[in-house]
Structure 1
């Protein structure tokens, strides 16, 4: 069944794929076309190699959205995006930096689905 879904998703634009993945409470699985192998620190100070062939993205909280905006203002948009991707996937930021650009674009598109809901513009319902 997952293969059928992925085949259908592959025919969509990246924005359509992201929107289709974000259904229900999550987390939302994004398969990686180019698996990432990275050294991960473990308790006791040693490291182990880990290979990731997919990432799971959870829904962000408001604090993460506002913190990523603050980081983007101070350090640049990409720094805020890498930080937010690491927070939402649970992966160390250096693993995010190792991702293939095509795979990162898929992750970014899923995050953008959440961010669009919080961007200002147009008339909003607000007490203020």
Structure 2
């Protein structure tokens, strides 16, 4: 068995409501809950403003024969779980998809982004 203690990146295994999807690439996530922006004036830096921000999980999915792209567009309350090469598990609960999914038939892929209140990493 290969030693994987130094592996940091390269794989992502993703399930949506328990159903495994083919991840072609570009896996990204954010557990962040706020977005800050620096406020400046003509006399210098004044501080910052802070707004709530939805967490997200996103990836490029392979459009296999068993995949129904329209189903992704209809997802409004799903759980997404990802297991990464570095040993982290990313969990999103009560997520919905944003943007329309467009298939690139050259490589049979489409982008999906789920957003919601709860995205955690462990």
Taking structure 2 as the reference length, the TM-score comes to: 0.25
* Structure number with higher helix proportion: 1
Taking structure 1 as the reference length, the TM-score comes to: 0.25
More relative contact order in 1 or in 2 (CA 8 Å, sep 6+)?
A: 2
* Structure number with higher strand proportion: 2
Greater CA radius of gyration, 1 or 2? 2
